[in-house]
Amino acid sequence: MKFNGSALDITAMGSPTLCLLISAITVALLWINQRKRELVYFITVSLGAGIWSVIIKNIIERARPQGIPVLIHVEGFSYPSGHTLAATSIYLSLAFILNKNFKFKYSCPFFFSLSVILFSLVGFSRIYLGVHYPSDALSGVFFGSAWAIFLASFL
């Protein structure tokens, strides 16, 4: 149980509050720097991630895990993990934007590795906290990355 505090901190990286804050800061910076294409991309990825999460959850209607210790109280359906989907789409889209605008020798591996580490940690934390099955977190990664990558083709 010594990882409970860390798991709560990590899961917050995919929380609606932090994702909204990161999105607002990113949108403001892209707007100020007149990066219109990246701005449209990021807004579409961010809003779409939330919309896709709600749509898929309400179609599948999968109950949350039962019979295991739950370390936080959550409501709603389990599949896919909304925290993981949001973290994946937002952090991956930031990697695409940063990689496009900051070209140095190791920019691509650095930005994308960092995003993979962040959204993977969010997914693992959701499983550790007992609020998602592994398939919920994996589907969050799948849907979030598919959305961000698909839209990046227009970037």
CA distance 98 to 121: 21
Amino acid 3: pLDDT: 66
CA distance 155 to 152: 5
Band the pLDDT of 56: cuts 50, 70, 90: very high
- Decide: 126 and 81 in contact? Cβ < 8 Å: yes
CA distance 67 to 133: 12
For 25-49, write each residue's pLDDT tens digit.
999 999 999 999 999 999 999 999 9
With tokens 């995003």, the residue in question is 115
Amino acid 31: pLDDT: 96
Minimal CA–CA distance to 92: which of 22, 7, 29? 22
Does residue 24 have a pLDDT over 90? yes
- Cis bond before residue 80 (omega within 30° of 0): yes
User: Domain coordinates of the chain in residue numbers?
Assistant: 4-152
CA distance 90 to 2: 29
CA distance 34 to 53: 29
For 127-150, write each residue's pLDDT tens digit.
888 888 999 999 999 999 999 999
Band the pLDDT of 2: cuts 50, 70, 90: low
Amino acid 32: pLDDT: 95
